[in-house]
Every structure is written in structure tokens, then in C-alpha cells.
Structure 1
Amino acid sequence: MSLPGGYTLRSATAADAAVIAAQRGQMFVDMNELTAQGAEEQLDLWADWLRSAIPQGDYRGVLVVHGAHVVGGVGMMLHPKIPSARDRALFSAYVMNMYVVPQHRRRGLAEALMNEMLVQARSQGLHSVKLHAAPMGRAIYERLGFVESTNPELRLSLEQP
């Protein structure tokens, strides 16, 4: 899909694994959730996982390309869920890894990426999409209809100290 300014959206392939991993790392660095070194330490782990997850359909990605360069991307994983009378779908979508290179921001690329992910989720018959919103992207998500969840979440780490 072509966008204004010479940008194009395309589906991610296993060959894009290293680029997606690097964008994921930079996303966490930008959000101050990882240091650059902390992200670097995980790049191979993420890329190896993506190389198998993409062809298996466990991870679906959309990339934005400008010239010969990938300048942004977003991914989605489907999680099994129990159906209900209100939502009979057997899966919910979790959107992740939203990233646009700083020099290409403020051009509608993140919103175009999210719109494409939502098209893909709807085409799968999904009724539920979740994500963790970084402050930088919150306005885009709210404009697209995302709302704060009312479900409290508790977490427990099972790692031994």
C-alpha cells in the first residue's frame, strides 16, 4: 500500500527479523524501559524468535518503507481466548513493537501502521485488540478508539532470586 511522501506499507517476512528486533529494542530505549546495552543484549534472542514466528503466523508484522529503508513497523500476536455471548471470537489480538524512526515521525506513519493492523485483525474476525500504550503514541490509539481497560492486572514473577 502506498502512502504520501513515497512511503509504502508491506508485510514483514522472516528476512526482516533483525530490523524488527532492532526497532523493538529502540522502542524500549525510547520509553526508558531498557538501556541501549540492555536492548543490544536481547537483539539476537528477539530476531531468532521472529525468524520462526513470522512464517508460522505467530507474529504478523507490517513495515513502512521509504526508498530502500524500513523506517517503521508494528506487529500483532493472536492469543487464544474463551468465547462469550458478546464476543464469539476464539482469539484476541495483542499489538506490539510500534516504532517509527525519529526522522520520519509526525507524518501519519504510526497511524497508517495501526490502521493496517486493525484491518488485519478485523479480517480475522477478531473483536478485541489490546496494546500497552507508550505516552508518545497514546493520542493515536485514543483517536482510533482504544480506551483504558477496566480490568485490573496483577503480575507475579516466578523467577528464583
Structure 2
Amino acid sequence: MKESSFIIREATQSDEFLIAEHLCHIALELGVSTESIRQDWLDQTVKFIDRARHELQYKGFIAEINDQVIGSASCQLLELYPRVSREYQKGYIWGVYVVPSFRRKGVATKLMKKAMAHLKAIGCTKAVLHASHEGKLLYSNLGYTESNEMVFSLI
């Protein structure tokens, strides 16, 4: 598959269910047990996307080939604490998913570039994401560096 044989388009509201499904696939691929998936995962994810669209300048992107969806990615402002400077605004990229048979063909790279362009357009000075082990090579090839984020398990 050539990179030019697929397209990336902006997600519409009707794509929210698809993006939610991709997010669930990601969780399962990361080893989350099917028993731990919330009963209301679809509804909660769609509500989150809707809120993020209205409050955090959310935008999703869909990868397609011959009208078949093969991937998606989402991005939005990252607001964990009050913004004290106009010069430092982080954006967050999440839910980068490509159907397994289309991986390693440039789809995720193209999705990421669209998401990064959106974050830059809305004034973000940094893009942040959490990478799976498999995704680290992609993100480092795009110029991402590991940060000083520290994590402590509360369970």
C-alpha cells in the first residue's frame, strides 16, 4: 500500500462511535482484561469526546482507504492545571489506532502529523502523548522525546 492510497480526513460527530471502538481496541491490546471494560464504555467515551470538542478544542482524524476506515487519532488541549502563560500550552494526542493489517505503512505517521498540525494551529507549544511499547519508535521518529513524567501506582 502506498502512502498516497489512503486519505486522512477530519472526523465528524458521526465518527465518535468508531473512535470510541478504536480506543477500546487499544485498551485490549495493552492487556486490559475484557472483564474490566466498563459496561458504559461507549457512552462514556462519546460523552468525553463531545465535552472535549466544546471545551478543549478537540479534533479527531480518520484514515480511510476505499471508504474503509483503517485508523484514527484524537487530540485536544491538555489542561491539568491553570494556564499561567500564553507561551506554554500543551496539547494531548490520544487514541492513535491503526487496524493491524494496515500497520507499518505510514498511516499512524500521517494521522500524527494531522493531529500535531491541529495542536499547533490552536496555539499549543508542546504535544504530549503516552506511548505503548510498540508506538515508541513511531513517536521518536517524529521527534518526540521521553519526558520527566513520574508515575506512582495507587493500587
TM-score by length of 2: 0.83
Checking the alignment, whether the CA contact within 8 Å between 2:73 and 2:93 is kept in structure 1 is yes
**Equivalent residue number for residue 15 of structure 1:** 14
2:33 and 2:43 map into 1 onto residues whose CA distance is 16
Within-5 A mapping of 1:62-101: 62-80=61-79, 81-83=83-85, 88-89=87-88, 91-101=89-99
Q: What amino acid sits opposite 1:9 in the alignment?
A: I
Within-5 A mapping of 1:56-135: 56=54, 58=56, 59-80=58-79, 81-83=83-85, 88-89=87-88, 91-135=89-133
Q: Which has the higher mean CA deviation after the structures are superposed, 37-46 or 136-145?
A: 37-46
The 1:40–1:8 alpha-carbon spacing in structure 2 relative to 1, beyond 3 Å, is: farther
Q: CA RMSD in A?
A: 2.2
User: Among the aligned pairs, what percent are the same residue?
Assistant: 24
CA shift for structure 1 position 36: 3.2
CA shift for structure 1 position 120: 1.2
CA shift for structure 1 position 37: 4.3
- Aligned residue pairs total 148
CA shift for structure 1 position 57: 5.8
The 1:147–1:55 alpha-carbon spacing in structure 2 relative to 1, beyond 3 Å, is: closer
1:14 and 1:124 map into 2 onto residues whose CA distance is 20
CA shift for structure 1 position 155: 6.6
Q: Which runs of 5+ in 2 are unaligned?
A: none
2:112 and 2:149 map into 1 onto residues whose CA distance is 23
Q: What amino acid sits opposite 1:24 in the alignment?
A: L
1:46 and 1:138 map into 2 onto residues whose CA distance is 25
Q: Which runs of 5+ in 1 are unaligned?
A: none
The one of 145, 150, 158 aligned to 2:143: 145
**Are residue 45 (structure 1) and residue 47 (structure 2) matched?**
no
1:57 and 1:4 map into 2 onto residues whose CA distance is 34
**Residue aligned with 1:135, SS:** coil
2:87 and 2:151 map into 1 onto residues whose CA distance is 23
**Residue aligned with 2:111, SS:** helix
2:84 and 2:150 map into 1 onto residues whose CA distance is 18
CA shift for structure 1 position 110: 0.4
Checking the alignment, whether the CA contact within 8 Å between 2:72 and 2:111 is kept in structure 1 is yes
**Residue aligned with 2:91, SS:** strand
